[in-house]
Amino acid sequence: MNEICLKTHQIEKHFGGVIALRDGSIDIRAGEVLALVGSNGSGKSTLTKIVTGVLSQDNGAIIYQDSQVEFTNPMAAQKAGVIAVYQELSLVPSLTVAQNIWLANEPRDKSGFIDDRKMNLLTADLLKLFEGTYQPSLHPEAYLRELPPDERQIVEILKAYSRDPEVLILDEATASLDSKQVNCLYDLIQLLKSKNKGLVFVSHRMDEIFRFADRAVVLRNGQTVGEVVITETSEDEIVNMMIGSDEGLIRDHGRKSKDNHKETILVVENLGNDRLVDVNFSVTKGELVGIGGLRGQGQSTLLHSLFGDDYHTGSIIIEGESLKFDHPKEAMENGIALIPGDRATEGLLLMRSILENFHLPNWKKYASPILKMKKARRDAAQVGDQLNLIMESLDSPVSNLSGGNAQKVVIGKWLLRDPKILLLDDPTKGVDVGTKAEFYRLLRQLQEKGTTILLYSSDEQELLDLCERVLVMQDGTIKADLTGKELTESNLVYFSMGASTNHNNHEVSWHA
Amino acid sequence: MPDNRNSKLTRWWNNLNVKHSLGLSLILLVSSTIISFALQPNVFQEGTIQRVMTSNFRTWLPVILVTIGQAIVILGGGLDLSNGAIVSVGNVILALTVTTTDEPGKNILMILVVLGFGIAAGLLNGFFTSYLGLQPVIITFASSFVYSGLALLLLPSPGGAIPRDYTNAYRNTSLIGIPISLIVIIVFVLIWEFFRRRKYGRFLFAVGGNSKAAYTTGVPVTWVKISTYMISGLMASLAAISYTLLTGSGLSSSGDDMTLASVTGSVLGGISMSGGAGSVLGAVFGGIVLGNIRNIISSLKLDSWWRTLVNALVIVLVLAGPGTINLIRRKKK
């Protein structure tokens, strides 16, 4: 086994009351690629940010080249040779490719002036590593804001490589690259391996983990749960470590499918835009369909497209009628409601009263000739009761409410419209357990009343608990449509990681 | 624009526009200068241009100096609404203390006090906005009241007198036909060019362009931001010196107009309000354009409220122009 060059020991990190990491322990070895694996919110990104000095840990130690270190900022980590290719790109759009790559590391002449010519030549040399995989628009003097995502990613990779790292961390570096570009990255990684550098590879894709890595560490709920040697393991073993064999297997089946074959309400055909590719599915009336997959695979875009908030091609057929929405207003008039993911920016007027927030989409109902405030109040109070909303009065501002209660207001304002189709974009993010339970009850009630619900959630457990059917998305398209016996946690994880589709022994785990 | 896309002129123009965002400000500069001279009587008489230039630049210098400072703050992603008040304090201090040519030592000391005050005021602004991360608009607006209050405390009613020798030197000195005020401007543009080609310039653009990315890349973001406010404070103090030499007296509200002018000038000079794009030369151009507008309106013998109106219209056009064009393009798609 190779020598350990960087070791993290029981790293802990809290964000307010939320524990992001409770025991992050990894050994990075020189001349080896370590894969860091885990599902949404398992703490991979937090751990890489702590190692590179972007965040500081609450507890635990980092041992680098045999001594304990404390990287208080990214500069310190970079000086020591610990460098990352970040998932949220660390590039400045208003600077050129060369300026970005050499930022804070510029080649300078004897009197301290930046040597632009040399910088551009060096950049051209670096770009040769990816030769033939990008458009001619990518050159040292091109402005970053004009480049497509894959070329930005290349710049980000080259930026890290140009700093001559001892330890290089690639956080989802392949997410926007095509296969040719991934091959170039593979060669680059082999080159660094042969120079005895330590590498960490964070990825959601099974095939890449098996191709790039020598070992894999699995994180679950902020905890290191195991380490395996890639050549001695299988995709199944890693998936089982990710979900843990002991949790979440007993489910209360509120989702008794009343299989009396109702009519189809929504058909989506060949939906596409810059984030979505050829999305096809149909939903029957009163169904509660989950949308799963890793974060950022186009789930939100899909919901926003259905709501007329995002440009798209393909067709949306509601109750047999092909509709095209250019504005959310048109979708609303057709009985569609969207409960957005980010309630603070997309869902609420924080400074305004609960009453106003409830009625923002509904004033039309009370409008003639002047606003019928009494009736509006009565209806708002009724919805407040139905949602079990804890508030001082209808007139107090939404900003006074706790996260869970604020989310109820977002839901309430759409309930007043009595929608036919309810779209939910990760609605329980940052909501406490009690409110979640109430929220689940509410969804069931709506479903019984005949409302069709499309729920995207980043919490696999939630999808399993609530839905009779889950569409798993990856790279903007639907990878799997799971119902009945196929709908298991391991299948959800399996398909969201893009594992091979000829896979048949995953029905077992939740029966156990 | 010429049809041949590779012609030298097109390339030069694109370079100017994309790299330094100078295109629009250059057009404004040239057109406003032409109009302003056209309205001038006796343009073609000998010495008129020289005389007009000298008188223009010495009047414009204070505003151009604060605009340079403001431009640097905006480039770094901030905004300084207190620079005008810093000018007032500097002006008041000088008017009260520099009263005779007999004590050059004391006079130099007072100039250093004024410069020191500007830098310290900038440091304070920078500390609150960058180190504590508070809103620049609010912090610098609030601190402007502190500084203008200080100016009023020191000099409740207009007064003070600068020795004639000093003011005459400022008015009439010139080097090979170039007035001293224009030389000062050229010197500052050269100093900027010096820093732009060094690490500091790159850091400034990176911080203004995307401070989070700059931070993760190892740029000392907080320090760069604080330094921009300190530079703005220093430039305001220099503006105070030139203003005092121009008017020869003290007024506790002398810098009040300069704050908005510095923002307007920066915008006219092609500096992006969101930071990270623009150049100091553009800010100088913007300052000159403002001066030209003022001259045009006074040559036309219009009421002075026209100046405010035209300034406002120009700033709205420049700010809203690019956004509107993009919107129309997108709608067409």
Paired residues of A198 in beta bridges: A30, A167
Ramachandran area for residue A61 (φ above 0: left; ψ -120 to 50: alpha; else beta): beta
CA distances from A209 to A114, A226, A261 (A): 40, 15, 42
Residue A113 near chain B (CB below 8 Å)? yes
Tens of pLDDT, residue by residue over B82-91, are 999 999 999 9
Work out how many CB contacts closer than 8 A connect A with B.
76
Contacting residues of A for B202, CB less than 8 Å apart: 95, 99, 103-104, 106, 114
CA distance A83 to A9: 19
Contacting residues of B for A142, CB less than 8 Å apart: none
Structure tokens at B276: 């990270």
What is the sign, positive or negative, of the torsion defined by CA atoms of A258, A264, A269, A273?
Answer: negative
User: Band of the pLDDT at B276, cuts 50, 70, 90?
Assistant: confident
Quick check: B323 pLDDT over 80?
A: no
For A95, which of B197, B205, B218 is closest by C-beta distance? B205
> According to the CATH classification, is domain B21-332 in 2.60.98?
no
Of A173, A204, A212, A181, the C-alpha closest to A89 is: A173
Quick check: B140 pLDDT over 90?
A: yes
- What is the structure's pLDDT at B91? 94
Ramachandran area for residue B301 (φ above 0: left; ψ -120 to 50: alpha; else beta): left
CA distance A380 to A57: 45
User: Percent of chain B at pLDDT above 90?
Assistant: 44
**What is the SS3 string spanning B17-57?**
HHHHCCHHHHHHHHHHHHHHHHCCCCCCCCCHHHHHHHHHH
For B217, which of A79, A104, A113 is closest by C-beta distance? A104
Run of H or E including A336: strand A336-339
CB contact under 8 A, B213 and A78: no
Q: What pLDDT tens digit does each residue of chain A (512 aa) get?
A: 678 888 888 888 887 666 788 888 889 998 999 999 887 667 888 888 899 888 888 888 888 888 888 888 888 888 889 998 886 668 998 899 999 999 988 888 888 898 989 999 999 999 999 988 888 888 898 988 888 878 888 999 999 999 999 999 998 888 778 778 888 999 999 999 999 999 999 887 788 888 899 999 998 888 888 888 988 888 888 888 887 754 444 444 444 445 555 788 888 888 888 888 888 898 888 888 999 888 778 888 898 888 888 888 888 888 888 888 888 888 888 888 888 877 777 788 888 888 888 888 888 778 777 888 888 888 888 888 888 887 778 888 887 777 777 888 888 888 888 889 999 988 877 666 667 777 888 888 888 888 899 999 887 778 888 888 999 988 888 888 888 888 888 888 888 877 654 444 444 333 33
**What is the SS3 string spanning A50-102?**
HHCCCCCCCEEEEEECCEEECCCCHHHHHHHCEEEECCCCCCCCCCEHHHHHC
CB contact under 8 A, B213 and A108: no
Ramachandran area for residue B183 (φ above 0: left; ψ -120 to 50: alpha; else beta): alpha
Structure tokens at B1: 């624009």
Distance between A17 CA and the closest CA of chain B, angstroms: 23
| DSSP assigned state of A3 | P
CB contact under 8 A, A95 and B214: no
CB contact under 8 A, A104 and B219: yes
Contacting residues of A for B215, CB less than 8 Å apart: 54, 73-74
Cβ proximity of A3 and A54 under 8 Å = no
* Mutation site for A-interface testing, chosen from B195, B200, B216 by largest number of A Cβ within 10 Å: B216
* Mutation site for B-interface testing, chosen from A45, A71, A94, A152 by largest number of B Cβ within 10 Å: A94
The DSSP code sequence of A434-453 is HHHHHHHHHHHHHHHHT-EE
Of A298, A363, A302, A356, the C-alpha closest to A329 is: A363
Q: Is the bond preceding residue A369 a cis peptide, omega within 30 degrees?
A: yes
CB contact under 8 A, B276 and A89: no
Contacting residues of A for B205, CB less than 8 Å apart: 92, 94-95, 99
Residues 270-329 of B with CB under 8 A from A: 272, 276-277
3-state secondary structure of A103: coil
For tokens 């510029």, what's the residue?
A106
Contacting residues of A for B210, CB less than 8 Å apart: 91-94
Residue B11 near chain A (CB below 8 Å)? no
3-state helix, strand, coil split of chain A in percent (to 5) is: 35, 25, 40
For A99, which of B202, B210, B218 is closest by C-beta distance? B202
Distance between A104 CA and the closest CA of chain B, angstroms: 6
Buried b (16+ CB within 10 A) or exposed e, B160-194: bebeeebbeebbeeeeeeebbbbebbeebbeebee
The DSSP code sequence of A162-177 is HT--SEEEEESTTTT-
Cβ proximity of A323 and A317 under 8 Å = yes
Residue of B nearest to A90 (CA): B213
Quick check: B291 pLDDT over 50?
A: yes
The DSSP code sequence of B133-154 is ---HHHHHHHHHHHHHHHHHHH
pTM (two decimals):
0.74
Residue A120 near chain B (CB below 8 Å)? no
- What is the structure's pLDDT at B1? 41
CB contact under 8 A, A104 and B203: yes
Q: Which residue would you say has higher pLDDT here, B261 or B317?
A: B261
Domains defined for chain A, CATH in brackets: 4-243 (3.40.50.300), 264-496 (3.40.50.300)
Please report how many Cα atoms fall inside a 13 Å half-sphere around the Cα of residue A265, on the Cβ side: 20
CA distance B91 to B246: 11
> What is this model's ipTM?
0.81
- Neighbouring C-beta atoms of residue A362, cutoff 10 Å: 18
CB contact under 8 A, A92 and B218: no
- What is the structure's pLDDT at A511? 36
Tens of pLDDT, residue by residue over B94-113, are 999 988 888 889 999 999 99
For B209, which of A92, A105, A108 is closest by C-beta distance? A92
Q: Kindly state the average pLDDT of the residues B168-189.
A: 87
Surface-to-core class of residue A463, CB atoms within 10 Å of its CB (0-12 exposed, 13-18 middle, 19+ buried): buried
Residue A496 near chain B (CB below 8 Å)? no
